[in-house]
Amino acid sequence: MTADLHTEVLVVGSGAGGSITATRLAEAGLDVTVIEEGPWISPELYAPFSEAEMVTKYRHQGVNAMLGLPPIAYVEGRCVGGGTEINSGLYHRPPAAVLADWRHRYAIEDLDSDDLSRHADLVEEELSVSRVPADVPMSSDVLDRGGRALGWKVVEVPRLFRYPDGDSSWRAGVKQTMTRSFIPRAVEQGARIFPDCRVQRLVRQGDRVLGAECLRMTSTDGRRESFTVHADNVFVCAGTIQTPALLQRSGVRRNIGTSFKAHPTIKLGARFASPLDDQGFIPMHQVKEFAPDFTFGGSVSRPGYVALAMADDWTANARDIEDSERVGVYYAAIRSDGCGRVRSVRGLTSPLVSYRLTDGDLSRLARSLIHLGELLFASGAERLYPSVTNAPAVDSPRQLVKLWDAVTRTRSNLMTIHLFSSVGMGERREVTGADSHGRVWGFSNLYVNDASLLPDAPGVNPQGTIMAIASRNCERFLATR
C-alpha cells in the first residue's frame, strides 16, 4: 500500500518538459516527485519503431485519431521519458522569426532569442546534440540527393545522439532519451519517480493546488491502489493532450484545450531500383525550400509501415509489397492555419480530440504532396504510393497533377506526431491559459511546462523548443519563489 506523501514540487509527466523540470528543480535542492502514467521501460529493451515498442510505450498501442474531416491519426508516448523514448531524436532550435511572432501576438514576456539560445546551448551540451559524424543512411540521402537535383534548400537536422569514441557510423549513435539522460540525473538528486501511476485529479483550494489524487498499478497482482500526493507547487507536464485533460478534470477550464495545434502530415511511399538498407531508422535530412509553409522529411520504413503506405489502394498495390525492401516512406508536414480542441468528458477515460483543417490547409497539403513527388522522382524513385484513398500509384512526374484534386476532406489520410498549443502562454489572458512563464491563470502554484505552452505551431520539430522553454521557465521559478 502506497502511503500519502508530501513533496515540495509535484511534476505530472516525464517527457521532455517534465524530465527537464524535475532535473532542474531537484538539482537546485528542491524535493521533487514525478508521477508518470506509463511504465518504466529500458530503452535497450525493444528495437526502435518495432511492434513491441509500440505496444508497450505508445498510448493505446499507437492507435489514436482526431475527430474531423479528414480525421488525423496521431501518437503519444506513454512511458517514463514520454515522447523522447519513441521519437526520432531530431532537434531544431526555436526559430527566431517564430519567437518574434509569438512575442508580438501573445504578448509573451522575456521570450528573448538570445536568452532562449542560452538555454538551448545548455540542453544541446547535456544531450550531445550533433550531426552524424560520417555518412548518412541511404533513406536520408534520398532527400539530400533529390533536393540538390532541384536546387532546393536541404538541411541535415541535428539529433539527440551520442556517438561512442572511435565509431562515427550513423548506426552507432545512441539516442539520448530522457531515461538515458535527465531522469537518472533527477533520481541522483533525490527525485522520486512513480511509474504506472495516473493522476485522477488535482486537489484545489482557492487559488492554490494542494496536491493530486493518484491511482497506481501495483507490481504484484495488477490491482490499483489510490493515494494522495500533497505538494507545495505542481507542474503539469503530461503532454499536449493529457495536460489539458487533467486540468479540465480538475475543474480548470479557462482557455484550456481550446487552441490545440498540430503539424498535419501527408505521406508518399517511394520505390527505388535498389534496396534501402536502413528501414528501421529515421532520415535526418529535411527539405526546407518551402518552409515555414511545409517541410519534407522521412518516416520509418519497416515492412509494416510500408504496407500501411500502400494500403490506400491495396487492391492495386498489394503485389508491390514484395518489393518492400526497396520502398521508403516520406512525408510533407504543413504549418496549419486550422486548430482543434481537447475535451475531457465525464465517464470517458480518454479525452475527445478534434481538429478542423481550413481550406487553405487542404490546398497546402495538395501542393506539398505534389512537390514531394517531384523531389522523390528527382532522387530516382520509380513509383510513388500516395496516402490518399483509392489514388493510384504514380509512375512519372507527369502523373503528379492528378493528386491535386484527390487531396480532399474525404480521401486524404493524414497523421501527425507534432502536437502543441493546448494551453498556450502569454499575457493576453483572453486567448492564453497560462502566463509568460507557464503559471496557469488564477492560480499561485500551478504551472504547465510542456508542449502545451507553445502558443502556435513552430513549423519545425518542436522538441528543441519545448526543452529550451522548459529550462527557461524553471530558471524563472527558482528566481522568484
8 A C-beta contact, residue 432 and residue 425: yes
The angle at the Cα of 250, spanning 248 to 252, to the nearest 5 degrees, equals 55
Q: What is 5-40+79-127+176-259+420-480's CATH number? A: 3.50.50.60
Report the b/e string of 345-375 with b at 16+ CB within 10 A: eeeeeebebbbebeeebbebbbbbbbbbbeb
Report how far residue 464's alpha carbon sits from residue 442's, in angstroms, rounded to the nearest whole number. 29
Strands (E), 325-382: 327-334, 339-343, 352-356
What is the pLDDT at residue 220? Answer: 62
If one counts every other C-beta atom within 10 angstroms of the C-beta of residue 95, the result is 17
Residue 200 has pLDDT above 90, yes or no: yes
For the residues 78-107, what does the mean pLDDT come to?
A: 95
Specify the 3-state DSSP secondary structure of 190. coil
Catalytic pick from 119, 263, 418, 437? 418
The angle at the Cα of 249, spanning 245 to 251, to the nearest 5 degrees, equals 120
User: Is residue 418 annotated as part of the catalytic site, yes or no?
Assistant: yes
For the residues 429-446, what does the mean pLDDT come to?
A: 98
State the Rg of the chain over Cα. Answer: 22
H or E, element range at 162: strand 159-162
For the residues 433-452, what does the mean pLDDT come to?
A: 98
Confidence of residue 236 (pLDDT cuts 50, 70, 90): very high
What is the pLDDT at residue 280? Answer: 78
Grid cell digits, residue 444: 499561485
Query: Mean pLDDT lowest for which of 64-68, 126-130, 131-135, 232-236?
Result: 131-135
Bridge partners (DSSP) of residue 390 are none
What is the pLDDT at residue 453? Answer: 98
Report the b/e string of 426-435 with b at 16+ CB within 10 A: beeeeebbbb
Residue 1 has pLDDT above 60, yes or no: no
The percentage of the chain sitting over the pLDDT mark of 70, rounded to a whole number, equals: 99
What is the pLDDT at residue 219? Answer: 66
